[in-house]
């Protein structure tokens, strides 16, 4: 399962999961987003029709890190941003992860 190093799924372990029919498949572990507030957090007011990837490029240096902007604003959909919206931005970090295996019965 190749994943870009800038993806929110980069570095997540793969798990073997068995479904109700007994078929085993490989899946990525779940991510658990961190709370938006914390040390080094800042706010950004959306200007005009500013897209989330442009915000990511400005704060994190890469458009592909748009998901870090949205992780701090989990109740938002990227295409719903409008002028005047205030976004919480955390310092760049590695994606959080949850490593667990589950069997479906």
If DSSP states are collapsed to H, E and C, what string results for 47-104? CCCCCHHHHHHHHHCCHHHHHHHHHCCCCCCHHHCCCCCEEEECCCCCCCCECCCCEC
Domain extents for the chain? Answer: 14-89
Mean residue pLDDT of the chain comes to: 78
Q: Which residues of 29-57 are buried (b: 16+ CB within 10 A; e: fewer)?
A: beeeeeebeeeeeeebebeeebebbebbe
Q: What is the pLDDT of residues 64-89, one digit of tens each?
A: 999 888 887 876 788 889 999 999 88
19-33, 48-62, 69-83, 86-100: range with lowest mean pLDDT: 86-100
Q: What is the rounded average pLDDT of the residues 12-27?
A: 84
Strand partners, 43: 88
């Amino acid at each position: 399962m190749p994943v870009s190093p800038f993806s929110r799924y980069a570095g997540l372990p793969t798990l073997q999961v068995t479904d109700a029919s007994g078929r085993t498949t490989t899946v990525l572990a779940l991510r658990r987003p961190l709370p938006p507030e914390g040390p080094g957090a800042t706010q950004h007011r959306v200007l005009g029709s500013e897209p989330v990837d442009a915000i990511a490029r400005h704060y994190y240096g890469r458009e592909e890190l748009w998901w870090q902007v949205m992780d701090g604003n989990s109740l938002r959909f990227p295409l719903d941003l409008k002028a005047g919206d205030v976004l919480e931005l955390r310092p760049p970090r590695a994606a959080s992860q949850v490593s667990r295996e589950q069997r479906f019965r």
